[in-house]
Amino acid sequence: MNGFSQPGRVERVFWPILATALLLALWCYSVRWSGTRVFPSPVEVERGLAELLRHHVLWGDIVDSLRRVAYGYGAAVAIGVPLGLTLGWYPAANQVVNPVMQILRPISPIAWIPVAIIFFGVGDDAAVFLIFLGSFFPIVVAAINGVSSVPAVYRHAGRNFGLTPPQLLAKVLFPAALPQILVGLRIALGIAWLVVVAAEMIAVDSGLGYLVIDSRNSGKRYDLVVAAILLIGVIGLVLDVLFRRLEKLRSVRWGFRFES
């Protein structure tokens, strides 16, 4: 019974269900044992979730959150990947820009909230801006690292075949750097999902983050709070799984190994 024996197919289903059931039972029992009136039990959370669904507020909030992530993240990808490729291609330019990026990168996107509100007012644009900031720097850094870790042999070979710099970038460097860029993109998507919830708790009045803070402030509906939190987790998981699918698809298409 160590990490390297192969468990059977039944166990593959049995153990997760057992662990989840144990956790739910523990949760249920500790709510009852502590006699709390505020913190909800799993059953109450399930009822809260059903209530949210029935009032049709849930879909609106989910769509709002996803829309903000799509815009902010999309803009970060559209600007960050080309910029990172360019900087990785010209190390001299990278040396110039790098110190500035290193200082801007660790500033929590949340800390930009006051500035975002001045620039864009309270609303969607501010939240989109925050998500853009949060995902922009990881993407640029991943693209720079991706390009600079491409073996020089590839570059020389491309040059010997008479490729011009733009062709070299599009046909050799980008596909070679792609796996590393995709990892960066996936991390950035996780950060974007983290930032949107925080931004919605402070800067706007719709979306899943707002649902969490609003359910607490208007009448201590902690069943709705926990329901919304679990939903945030599930959607984040779905985004991650979808991205992994994409990763597999793309690397098959564009990776070096499969190009003729």
Partner 1 sequence: MRDDNAARMNLRLLLRPLAFIAVLLLLWEIGIRRQSSHLLPGPWGTVEGIVDLVRHGLLLKYIVASLFRVTWGFTLAAALAIPLGLAVGWYRRAEMALNPILQILRPISPLAWIPIAILWFGVGDLAAIFLIFVGCFFPLMLTAINAVRSIPAVYVNAGRNFGLGTPSLVYRVLYPAVVPNLIVGLRITLGIAWLVVVAAEMIAVSSGLGFLIVDARNAGNRYDLVVAGMLIIGVIGLLLDLGMQSLEKVKSFRWGYSED
State yes or no: residue 19 binds partner 1 (CB under 8 A): yes
Amino acid at 114: P
Q: Report the C-alpha gap between 139 and 83 in whole angstroms.
A: 10
User: Given the rule CB under 8 A, which of 145-153, 163-171, 176-184, 191-199 is the region that contacts partner 1?
Assistant: 191-199
User: Given the rule CB under 8 A, which of 67-75, 163-171, 190-198, 246-254 is the region that contacts partner 1?
Assistant: 190-198
Dig out the tokens for 29 from the structure.
């029992």
Q: Report the C-alpha gap between 214 and 120 in whole angstroms.
A: 23
Among 9, 35, 38, 260, binds partner 1 (CB under 8 A): 38
- Judged by CB under 8 A, the chain residues 80 through 119 that form the site for partner 1 are 92, 95-100, 102-115, 118
Q: Report the C-alpha gap between 27 and 21 in whole angstroms.
A: 10
Alpha-helical (H) ranges within 106-164 are 113-120, 124-148, 152-160
Dig out the tokens for 64 from the structure.
């709002």
Q: Report the C-alpha gap between 105 and 56 in whole angstroms.
A: 38
Of residues 39 and 254, the one with the C-beta less far from partner 1? 39
State the minimum distance, in angstroms, from the CB of residue 171 to partner 1. Answer: 30
Among 236, 247, 250, 251, binds partner 1 (CB under 8 A): 236
Instruction: Evaluate whether 250 touches 227 at the Cβ level (below 8 Å).
Output: no
State yes or no: residue 48 binds partner 1 (CB under 8 A): no
Considering CB under 8 A, how many residues would be counted as binding partner 1?
67
User: Given the rule CB under 8 A, which of 16-24, 152-160, 171-179, 242-250 is the region that contacts partner 1?
Assistant: 16-24
State the minimum distance, in angstroms, from the CB of residue 197 to partner 1. Answer: 4
